Amino acid sequence: MTNTPVALTLNAGSSSLKFGLFSIGATPVAMAVGLVDSIGRTPTLKASFGAGMPPLGRDLTPAEASDHKSALATALALLRQHFPEAQVAVVGHRVVHGGPSYDGPMRLTPQVMAELRRLSPFAPIHQPHNLAGIDAAVAAFPDAVQVACFDTAFHRSHPWVNDTFALPRDYYDKGVRRYGFHGLSYDYISGELNRTAPLIHAGRVIVAHLGNGASMCAMLGGRSVASTMGFTALDGLPMGTRTGQIDPGVIFYLVQQEGMTIDEVRDLFYTRSGLLGLSGLSNDMRALEAAGSTQANEAIDYFVFRIRRELGGLAAALGGLDALVFCGGIGENSRLIRERVCEGMGWIGLDLDRARNAAGDTVISTDMSRARVMVIPTNEELVIARAAKKVVDADSACAAGRPNVRNT
């Protein structure tokens, strides 16, 4: 282990920092994954360290995670305690927005950082936190290679009709486009399908990433052709606290008739809507499933209805359906949601096997089902670690005098 290079992966959200440590020998292998949550409020730390090691969880003092910088220092102290000899050669970062041109991971240079800062207004809730995570990592590992992995990159294969809004053309040129997000998750699922079910991978697949953030992606031959998220990670499915698709006329009404400021509308749409807003109870699907109240049930009804509606629309974009894949916290764990999404969907070729669904099998459709239904746990951290390894390998190849390696 001592001589094997190590990659640190960082995924900085608004109030959380997910981290992973991977040895990047022949293939990346996770040594540790963890989460600092509720940064700046009442922070907590969770981490697990490979097979056989008990997971760790504890409350942090406010000073241990008052901001992203101190949260990273706390995570690193934990990793150093467990792996005192690990030398971090590369840090891979999840970055929400890569704009219209970045279609793969990028090595972070001052020029790339400047471009990512320029994109911040496109993702004001996420991008500044991602960039704060990068700044903190550069300070902590000044000699390590830093790599950005974009949630938008996987969708750059969208055809123009799924990339544009019906606005005057110059807005498209200015970057007002349907970018799509959750790309690291879709990238992982596409790779897993290729590895385990190549015929399905080659066909028409819809992936439903259902977590606190939720979206769906239509893939043809493993590449994204359409997704439910658009210019921001607000569009499409309702989420834990986000509206999902909404008539923009509602914004005019809230501002002009109810006197709300744009910042108040943004806060309403991002943090007080979705499952939380509809249920008046929680953004957490487990709490809604357990509650059984009318409002909680209606929030679930709306969530399921919108998934089914998008399923039909994305299948139309694909010209049919060969497989539906569930992933994300809800997709991987909620048999109820999977069952309700697939109910009565025989017309589109889905025939769910209830016993397989209840057992949490990988394939949860019947053997007679025209389209396969699958559950594949996603792994965004591994996608970041792979990208980080690729950059380090490319550096080594360049140093060895092989110039035909792309400098990403």
Which residues are known to be catalytic? 151
For ligand ADP, give the closer residue by CB, 190 or 379. Answer: 379
Give the residue carrying structure tokens 């992966």. Answer: 9
Residue 298 labelled as part of a binding site: no
Nearest-approach distance from CB 282 to ligand ADP, in angstroms: 8
Which of 314, 304, 376, 375 is closest to 342 using CA atoms? 304
Interface mask (CB under 6 A) for ligand ADP, residues 313-342, using x and -?
---------------xxx--xx--------
211 is a contact residue toward ligand ADP (CB under 6 A): yes
Whether 349 and 369 have beta carbons less than 8 Å apart is answered as yes
C-beta nearest to ligand ADP: residue: 329
Nearer to ligand ADP, 5 or 274 (CB): 274
CA distance 194 to 196: 6
CA distances from 344 to 308, 316, 341, 348, 349 (A): 10, 17, 9, 9, 10
What residues between 11 and 50 interact with ligand ADP by CB under 6 A? none
Per the annotation, does 286 bind a ligand? Answer: yes
Q: Is 285 in the site for ligand ADP (CB under 6 A)?
A: yes
Residues 147 and 22: their CA atoms lie apart, in Å, by 14
Helices (H), strands (E): how many in the chain? 15, 13
User: Does residue 244 bind ligand ADP (CB under 6 A)?
Assistant: no
Round the CA-based radius of gyration of the chain to a whole number and report it. 21
11 is in an annotated binding site: yes
Closer of 19 and 88 to ligand ADP (Cβ)? 19
CB of 238 or CB of 329, closer to ligand ADP: 329
Q: Where are the beta strands (DSSP E) in 167-293?
A: 204-210, 214-220, 223-227
Q: CB under 6 A: which stretch of 85-93, 206-214, 245-253, 294-302 binds ligand ADP?
A: 206-214
Report H helices in 40-182. 68-82, 110-118, 127-140, 169-173
Q: Please state the closest distance from residue 240 (CB atom) to ligand ADP, in A.
A: 6
Binding site for ligand ADP (CB under 6 A): 211-213, 240, 284-286, 289, 328-330, 333-334
- Per the annotation, where are the binding residues for Mg(2+)? 11, 380
- Per the annotation, where are the binding residues for substrate? 94
